[in-house]
Amino acid sequence: VIQDFYQRGPKSQAHYERMKAVVPGGLQHNLGISKPFALAYQSAKGDKIYDIDGNEYTDYLMDGGPIILGHHFEPLDAEVVKLISERGPAVGLTHENELRFAEEIVKNIPSVEMVRFVASGTEADTLAIRLARVYTGRQKIVKISGNYHGWSDQLTLSINFPGTGAMDAAGIPPECYQNTIEVMQNDFDGLARTFEQHKGEIAAVLVEPTGGHAGTFLAHPDWNKALREVCDQYGALLIFDEVISGFRLSLACGEEYYGVRPDLTVLGKIVSHGYPSAGAVGGPKEIMQYCHPSQVGGKEAFTAGTMSANAIMVTAGYFSLKFIREYQAIEKSAAYANRLTNALNELFATRKDLPFFAYNLQSIVHVETACYNGISLVENPAARLPEAMQRYTVVQTYALALMTRGVLPLGDRFYCCMQHDEDSLRKTLAAWEYVLTLIPAD
Ligand code: PMP
C-alpha cells in the first residue's frame, strides 16, 4: 500500500518535502494523512478532488465536514466572487448579508433568538462557555470525554482518547483544567455523581450531540436527553457543539434530530460551507445579551475578533443556507449515505471473520473496523488509551489503502455531499473490496 501511495504521488511528495523545511511537520491543516506524505490538491469539483499528480479521488473529507453542496459549487462561489469584485471583501463595518444570515439562522433553529458570529469553531466554543459562566455565575464546565471542541486551553482535556483523563496537549498549564470536569460519554451514573459532587458549581455541559468526533464514539440514544435533564435539575446550561452536525443533520440542527433543546448552540465551519472564517453561537436573548456590555450594564462575556462576521463568511453563509434548502442538500446527501451504509454492510457481511460495520447519522457515515474483547469502541467509548491508539493506527492504514484506490476518507468518517452518485458508490465499494483483499481470512 505504501509503495502504491509513493508511486501515485511524486509531486505531492516533493511538495511535502519542501513544506517540511518551512512548516512544522509539513502540514498545517490537520485533517489529511501526513504519513508517508501529505497530498496536495490541484482542484475540486462536486464530489471529486484532484491532486497535483493528477489523481482523482471520490472525496469524503469534504473539508472536514462543511461541504454538503459539493466542492466548488458554482451558484455559491458566484455570490462570493460578486461580493469581492463588486463591493470589496473586508472593511470592518456591518454588512447586509450579516443581517440576512443572522435572521436566517434564527428562523431555522428554534432555540436560537440571537446569534453572535466569531471566526472559528474553537472561538465559538470558547465564547459559549464564557457566556454560560457569566449567565450562571458559576465556573465549572463539564466536558464529555472524547468530544472535540477545538484547541483552546480549557477544552483540550481528553480530546481523542476517551477516559484517559490525561492532557492531550502539552504547553497547557494544568491550572487551565481546574474548572473543566471530564465525564465519560454514555456514563449516566458518572454524570449524576458529578453533578451531585459539584452542586451549584457547574455552569454548563458542553457536548457533541452526535457523540465524540461527529459520532465516531456514538452517543447512547438517551444521552442527550439525560444531559438536558441533569442540566435542568441543577440549573446548568446545555451547550450543543454543532460545528459539524449543524445543517448536516437538519436545518434545525441537532435539536430537531435528537429532539432535545439546548440552551446554546455552537456552529462552525458548516455555517459558511468552508469559506473563511466561520463560527457562531446562538441562543435565547436572555443569555445572548451578555455578549454585549450595553445590554447588561457591563456584565459582559467579552467577545471580539477582526474576522468575526467578515463579509466573505456571512455572504457564503447566507447563500449556502439558502442553497442547502433549495437543493435539498441535507436530504440528498443523507439518502446517498444510507445507500453507502447499506452497501458497505452487505460487503462486510461477506467477511464474517472481520468486525467491520458501517453506520450513519444522516450524511455522516462511519466505518468501525476495530473490536477489542468483542466490543467495538462505538459501543464502549470507555476503552482506554492503548485500544484507542491501536484503533487509530488501524483506521489510518485502511484510509491510506482507500486513497491508493481513489477514495479519500477522513479516518473512519465519510462525509457525503449532495453530488455523490451511483458512480461514487461504485468506486467507493470497489476501493473497500480492495481493502478487504489485503486482510487475510482467519
Ligand atoms: N467543535 C467540533 C465538534 C469540531 O469538529 C471542530 C473542528 N473540527 C471544532 C469544534 C473546532 O472548530 P475550528 O476548527 O473551526 O476551530
How many Å apart are CA 195 and CA 201, to the nearest integer? Answer: 8
Ligand 1 mutation target, pool 31, 269, 271, most atoms within 8 A of CB: 269
pLDDT, tens digit, 9 for 90 and up, residues 195-249: 999 999 999 999 999 999 899 888 999 999 999 999 999 999 999 999 999 999 9
The CATH class of the 74-326 domain is alpha beta
Rounded to the nearest angstrom, the gap between the alpha carbon of residue 209 and the centroid of all alpha carbons in its chain is 11
Supply the pTM of this predicted model: 0.95
Nearest protein CA to atom 1 of ligand 1, as residue: 149
DSSP state of 240: E
Pocket of ligand 1 (CB under 6 A): 64, 120-122, 125, 148-150, 208, 241, 243-244, 268-269
Task: Establish whether the linkage from the previous residue to 75 is cis, with ω within 30° of 0.
Answer: no
> What's the distance, Cα to Cα, between the start and end of the chain in Å?
21
How many Å apart are CA 36 and CA 13, to the nearest integer? Answer: 8
Distance 2 CA to ligand 1 centre (A): 30
pLDDT at 30: 66
Cβ-contact 381, 217 below 8 angstroms: yes
Distance 439 CA to ligand 1 centre (A): 33
Rounded to the nearest angstrom, the gap between the alpha carbon of residue 256 and the centroid of all alpha carbons in its chain is 18
Nearest protein CA to atom 14 of ligand 1, as residue: 121
Ligand 1 mutation target, pool 243, 248, 307, most atoms within 8 A of CB: 243
Looking at 137-284, list the stretches that DSSP marks H as alpha helix, in order from N- to C-terminal side.
188-197, 212-215, 223-234, 253-258
Atom in ligand 1 nearest the alpha carbon of residue 123? 16
Task: Establish whether the linkage from the previous residue to 120 is cis, with ω within 30° of 0.
Answer: no
Q: Which three cell numbers stand for residue 7?
A: 508511486
Cβ-contact 312, 91 below 8 angstroms: no
pLDDT, tens digit, 9 for 90 and up, residues 314-366: 999 999 999 999 999 999 999 999 999 999 999 999 998 888 899 999 999 99
In sign, the C-alpha dihedral spanning 26, 27, 28, 30 is negative
Distance 401 CA to ligand 1 centre (A): 26
Looking at CATH, the fold of the domain delimited by 2-69+328-438 is given as Aspartate Aminotransferase, domain 1 (3.90.1150)
Question: Is residue 383 scored above 70 in pLDDT?
Answer: no
**Planar angle of CA 403, 404, 406, nearest 5 degrees:** 60
Strands (E), 98-185: 114-118, 140-144, 180-183
pLDDT at 257: 97
> What's phi and psi for 304, nearest 5 deg?
-150, -155
279-301: average pLDDT: 86
ipTM here: 0.99
The one-letter amino acid code at 105 reads I
- Sequence spans of domains, the chain: 2-69+328-438, 74-326
Question: Is residue 60 scored above 70 in pLDDT?
Answer: yes
How many Å apart are CA 369 and CA 355, to the nearest integer? Answer: 6
Ligand 1 mutation target, pool 129, 144, 148, most atoms within 8 A of CB: 148
Question: Is residue 379 scored above 70 in pLDDT?
Answer: no
The one-letter amino acid code at 233 reads Q
Distance 100 CA to ligand 1 centre (A): 24
Percent of the chain with pLDDT strictly greater than 90: 74
Judged by DSSP in three states, 339 sits in helix
Q: Indicate if 74-326 has the same CATH topology as 2-69+328-438.
A: no
